[in-house]
Structures are given as C-alpha cells and as structure tokens.
Amino acid sequence: MQNEPKGGLALFVAGTDTGIGKTHAAATLIHALRARRLATCGMKPVASGCLETLDGRRNEDALVLQAAGSEPLAYESINPIALREPLSPHLAARLEQVTVAMAPLRAAFDRLRATHEAVVVEGVGGWMVPLAPGLLASAIPRDWDLPVVLVVGLRLGCLNHALLSARAIQADGCRLAGWIGNCIDPAMAAVADNLETLREMLPAPCLGVLPHGLDPVQAAERLDLAPLLDPRAMD
C-alpha cells in the first residue's frame, strides 16, 4: 500500500461523539506506551476552538497530548492545522479561508513517525466529522492504514453510539483494534450492565475502563495494551 506507515506502532483514537474524553484516553494511551519504554508522542492533526496566545494558536486538547509525550516537541508538529472557531473543522476552516488537505497532515505524521516508536493520533469529534468538502475525519485512519481505538463515553445512549461507530469504522475498511470505556458521567445508572453489553456486542476487545477523575498517568495502569502490541493482532 502506498500510504502504509514505515514502522513502529501508530494508532488512531476515535470517539463515539464530541466531549466523551478522546483526549483523556489518548493521553492515557501515551503514558501506557511510555510505561512500556516506547518513545511515544501524540498528534492532533486538525483542531478547532483554538485560543490566540503569545506563542500562536493553541488548542487545549493538543496541549494535553504535547505534555504527555516522551520528549518536548514543537506545538506545530503535533497540531499542524489549528482553527480558531469552536465549530466543525470544515466550517471553521471556511470562515478563515483555510484549506484542510491530507498531504501536509500526512507529512507531519511521517515526521513524527520517523522519530518515535509509537504515535497516538487523535481525531476530532465523532467518526464522520467533515474536515473539508468531500473529506471526513475517517479518511485519516483509512488512508494512513491506522488501527482504530474507539473511546466510548459511558453515559445514557452509549450503546447505540458505540455500535453505530463500530459499524461505520468497519464499513470504511478500517480495523477496530480495541475500545476504551471512559466514565464521563459518575451518576450513570447500570454502568456494569452497560459495560457487559459493550463487551458482548462490540467486535473488538476492551482495552480498559477509565474511572471518572483519574489523571492519565494513574489511568494508564488500567489499560491492557496486549491486543495492540501483539504482532498477531496487527495482521
């Protein structure tokens, strides 16, 4: 495949929706990989809702990924396209007359991949968020041949969102390598029953469940990376 990554481990972190903790899960994955002594970094190819700072535009999620990595990296290498308005990327880009294209994003990814043993790429919003006319966020893992880790925000409605997302991921020709449950609603009823249903119905292993309020360093101990690191699982 022409766009196949050169080596090492690279993952795409997708979410069942906006605001379900993709960044928290991605940072937790980075720390878990670092605990395995893998030089690891995060990447947020496209981010909207960025703030103007003295150092340039900064996105809160991308800053979390930057801080979680094994070594200090320039912000622009982690978040190549930083859009100001907190809108769907295709709308935010249109307001600024910015073109979101795959080539520069892939070039940034390749640079990170060349200097790290693992790269955790975080998507934006849900699986089918538009980045530009005719370009969905799902094109990144599909075109870059990245296995997908689905973050399921544990709240009412999570079963439908998770199953629909898993179906869409597979329909787009991507491999769902695993899923992470994120306890975003501490008052959610029947959490154990919902997790049991997800384990039964999702076509991929559960990598772990992240408790509410636990920081990524501590939460990293809750993840089982074996399905991601076993070479047989990457076939």
Positions annotated as catalytic residues are: 44
DSSP state of 234: G
Residue for token digits 């094994």?
A: 70
Q: What is the full DSSP assignment across 100-154? A: --HHHHHHHHHHHHHH-SEEEEE-SSSTT-EEETTEETTHHHHHHT--EEEEEE-
Residues 208 and 181 sit within 8 Å (Cβ to Cβ):
yes
Residues composing the chain:
235
Helix (H, G, I), strand (E, B) or coil at 74: coil
Provide the terminal-to-terminal Cα distance of the chain, rounded to the nearest Å. Answer: 14
- Spatial neighbors of 164 by CB under 8 A, at least 6 apart, are none
Distance (Å, whole) CA 100 – CA 87 = 14
Would you put residue 133 in left (φ > 0), alpha (ψ -120 to 50) or beta? beta
